[in-house]
Amino acid sequence: MSDRDSFDALDYLQHRFGDLNDQRATYVLGQLHRVLNGFMTKKINDGELKVLDFGSGPVVQNSISAAAFASEIVFSDISSSNREAIQKWLDGDADAFNWSPHFDYVVQTLEGKGEKEAREREQRMRKLSKVVFCDALSEHPWRKAMRDHTTLFYSAHVLNVPAAIERVSSVA
């Protein structure tokens, strides 16, 4: 087992995402909502928005706004513990991290809809999502994750690592 697979995803989620009273959490959700909503309302014409969250870690909140428009969301990560954390949530496992407060914040607070719509968004996201392996350090890492045409490709924190390695490699 590698270090990345021994990562405690649930502990990370509880400490980093467990408190929505943290201004960082609501700021990030608000910015993601603003950017994704702006992009999606301009780009959706055929109803087929396929989203790739590249290097998603164990986090589903980054795609809550996208779930309103997407026909498919693909979460991708190198760590089996991160992929398992998302899969547990998708499967409705009782041991999964509870993302419901995050759905409530996006759907109710940012979009002005009700609790019923928040639960519907959560169920919709579970139905249209899947989790796949990806290695950001491999050559063309997104190709395997993007087997089908992907309309929207985004990554919250992962692409700076391969870019830094590429810069160092090209200098050496």
Tens of pLDDT, residues 87-108: 999 999 999 999 999 999 999 9
**β-strand 72-77 against 50-54: which pairing, if any?**
parallel
Give pLDDT tens digits for 108-157: 999 999 999 999 999 999 999 999 988 877 777 766 666 665 667 677 65
> Whole-angstrom Cα distance, residue 33 to residue 64?
8
Q: What 3-state class would DSSP assign to 109?
A: helix
> Whole-angstrom Cα distance, residue 113 to residue 78?
35
> Whole-angstrom Cα distance, residue 67 to residue 65?
5
pLDDT bracket for residue 172 (50, 70, 90): very low
Residue scoring higher pLDDT (57 or 147): 57
* C-beta separation of 36 from 52 below 8 A: no
> Whole-angstrom Cα distance, residue 171 to residue 165?
10
Q: Whole-prediction pTM value?
A: 0.81
Domains of the chain (ranges, CATH numbers): 3-171 (3.40.50.150)
Predicted confidence at residue 4, as pLDDT, reads 60
